[in-house]
């Protein structure tokens, strides 16, 4: 079986490639390295089951030949990270909407199974927990660029479901909740790699806002396993499914936890959102997934304890020094 992983040089994508190759699958990756890194997949180069194509998913001809040749697609290529999306709003919207449209159109042309990665951002600014797949979605105005990420991934979800309903395309959608682990970069705003690197350097750990906002972090290994189970699951076709962890933690607690695990001398500092992201920024104050649907579909939920994930990620960053 040959799986095309779009965005396979990214953080989640490269772990997915490792997992698929370890299970004996053939893997093709298309990635333009806009936010991914060749180093993430360099160890797979030379494996006869692996091929890497450095190109954008907006190249329709290239995508046509790759999707024609594969058996299934996992579409992960997207603009990622709040900081990246705010700094590159136009290209982010284009990649997320046009790129997914191309992937879906071609998957439909060749009748290939496709899984589309979405995000917990899609839920918007809820305060209740846990978030269920059929919850209403609450966004701010379009002048607040952050919402363009949620809205663009939501358009991807609508398009995928429309292909399923009107063309019977074999498509599934998964919403990832703050995936973390080794290889994640802090360059695009992600909090865990940023805090770990700050702690390892004894630099100030920068909590944005008052630090009372919460997240539920999910181990990348659990995410990859969930994706692979979903690929095999007939009942997941035409469905939207959360993939998220179980331990809700506030960002200030996270800073304390990382500081103590690293045994760092860092000071924890609080930075106003405006200083961190500029004007017109809105954060999401709470984000906790319901894993009921995932569990009922595949009988698996991400459960790696937060400390275990943080320890392995700290180990990874120590090895990079
Ligand atoms: N955050 C922070 N300091 C940082 C980076 C992020 O306090 O250096 C906060 C951010 O404002 C948010 C949370 O950490 O409340 C998670 O941010 P991230 O960008 O990792 O993910 P997302 O906002 O998409 O959940």
Q: Domains for the chain: give ranges and CATH numbers.
A: 2-183+218-245+287-304 (3.40.50.720)
Q: Is the model's pLDDT at 85 over the cut of 90? A: no
Q: Is the model's pLDDT at 280 over the cut of 80? A: no
For 85-118, the DSSP string reads HHHSHHHHHHIIIIIHHHHHHHHHHTT-EEEEEE
Helix (H, G, I), strand (E, B) or coil at 72: strand
Q: Which of 175, 300, 302 is nearest to 247 (CA)?
A: 302
Q: Which residue minimizes the CA distance to atom 20 of ligand 1?
A: 190
For residue 121, report the distance from its CA to the centre of ligand 1, in Å: 12
Q: Which residue minimizes the CA distance to atom 14 of ligand 1?
A: 191
Is the distance from the beta carbon of residue 80 to the nearest atom of ligand 1 less than 6 Å? no
Helix (H, G, I), strand (E, B) or coil at 77: coil
- Out of 126, 189, 272, mutate this one to test ligand 1's pocket (max ligand atoms within 8 Å of CB): namely 189
pLDDT band at 132 (very low <50, low <70, confident <90, very high): very high
For residue 31, report the distance from its CA to the centre of ligand 1, in Å: 25
The mean pLDDT of 276-297, rounded to a whole number, is 93
pLDDT band at 188 (very low <50, low <70, confident <90, very high): confident
More confidently predicted of 80 and 20: 20
Q: Is the model's pLDDT at 70 over the cut of 90? A: yes
Window from 105-109, 139-143, 239-243, 249-253 with minimum mean pLDDT: 139-143
At 244, list the tokens. Answer: 């998220």
pLDDT of residue 153: 96
Q: Is the model's pLDDT at 62 over the cut of 90? A: yes
pLDDT of residue 156: 98
Q: Is the model's pLDDT at 297 over the cut of 80? A: yes
For residue 155, report the distance from its CA to the centre of ligand 1, in Å: 24
Dist. CA 147–CA 151, nearest whole Å: 6
At 9, list the tokens. Answer: 């040089």
Radius of gyration of the chain (CA): 19
The rounded mean pLDDT for the chain is 96
| Closest atom, ligand 1, to C-alpha of 277 | 11
Q: Which residue minimizes the CA distance to atom 25 of ligand 1?
A: 178
The mean pLDDT of 126-134, rounded to a whole number, is 96
pLDDT band at 273 (very low <50, low <70, confident <90, very high): very high
| Closest atom, ligand 1, to C-alpha of 192 | 20
The mean pLDDT of 293-313, rounded to a whole number, is 98
CA angle 46, 36, 321 (to 5 degrees): 85
| Closest atom, ligand 1, to C-alpha of 121 | 24
Find the catalytic residue in 52, 149, 163, 277.
149
Is the distance from the beta carbon of residue 213 to the nearest atom of ligand 1 less than 6 Å? yes
pLDDT band at 189 (very low <50, low <70, confident <90, very high): confident
Q: What pLDDT, in 10s, does the model give residues 219-237?
A: 999 999 999 999 999 999 9
pLDDT of residue 11: 97
pLDDT band at 84 (very low <50, low <70, confident <90, very high): confident
Annotated active-site residue 19? The verdict is no
pLDDT of residue 66: 98
For residue 141, report the distance from its CA to the centre of ligand 1, in Å: 20
- Out of 177, 204, 208, 277, mutate this one to test ligand 1's pocket (max ligand atoms within 8 Å of CB): namely 208
Sorted by sequence, the CB contacts under 8 Å of residue 185 that are 6+ apart come out as 11, 35, 37, 193
Q: Which of 237, 238, 222, 210 is nearest to 177 (CA)?
A: 222
Kindly tell me the sign of the dihedral angle through the C-alpha atoms of 7, 11, 13, 18.
Answer: positive
The mean pLDDT of 266-271, rounded to a whole number, is 98
The mean pLDDT of 304-313, rounded to a whole number, is 98
- Out of 11, 195, 251, mutate this one to test ligand 1's pocket (max ligand atoms within 8 Å of CB): namely 251
For residue 139, report the distance from its CA to the centre of ligand 1, in Å: 18
Let me know: does 52 contact 9? Beta carbons within 8 Å: yes
Is the distance from the beta carbon of residue 173 to the nearest atom of ligand 1 less than 6 Å? no
Q: Which of 111, 67, 310 is nearest to 199 (CA)?
A: 310
């Amino acid at each position: 079986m040959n799986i095309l992983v779009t965005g396979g040089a990214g953080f989640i994508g490269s772990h997915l490639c490792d997992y698929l190759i370890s299970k004996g699958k053939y893997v093709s990756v298309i990635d333009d390295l806009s936010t991914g890194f060749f180093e993430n997949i360099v160890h797979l180069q030379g494996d006869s089951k692996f091929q890497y194509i450095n190109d954008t998913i907006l190249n329709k001809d290239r995508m046509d030949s790759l999707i024609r040749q594969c058996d299934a697609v996992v579409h992960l290529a997207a603009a990622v990270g709040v900081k990246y999306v705010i700094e590159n709003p136009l290209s982010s919207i284009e990649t997320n909407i046009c790129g997914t449209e191309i992937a879906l159109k071609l998957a439909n042309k060749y009748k290939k199974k496709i899984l589309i990665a979405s995000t917990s951002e899609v839920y918007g600014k809820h305060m209740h927990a846990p978030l269920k797949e059929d919850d209403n979605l609450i966004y701010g105005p379009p002048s607040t660029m952050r919402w363009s990420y949620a809205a663009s991934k939501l358009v991807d979800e609508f398009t995928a479901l429309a292909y399923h309903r009107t063309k019977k395309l074999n498509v599934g959608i998964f919403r990832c909740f703050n995936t973390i682990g080794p290889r994640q970069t802090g360059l695009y705003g992600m909090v865990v790699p940023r805090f770990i690197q700050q702690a390892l350097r004894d630099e100030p750990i920068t909590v944005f806002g008052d630090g009372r906002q919460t997240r539920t972090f999910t181990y990348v290994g659990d995410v990859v396993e969930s994706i692979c189970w979903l690929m095999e699951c007939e009942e997941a076709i035409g469905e939207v499914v959360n993939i998220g962890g179980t331990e809700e933690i506030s960002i200030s607690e996270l800073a304390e936890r990382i500081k103590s695990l690293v045994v760092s001398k860092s000071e924890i500092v609080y930075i106003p959102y405006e200083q961190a992201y500029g004007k017109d920024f809105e954060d999401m104050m709470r984000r906790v997934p319901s894993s009921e649907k995932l569990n009922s579909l595949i009988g698996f939920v991400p459960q790696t304890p937060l400390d275990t994930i943080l320890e392995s990620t700290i180990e990874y960053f120590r090895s990079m020094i």
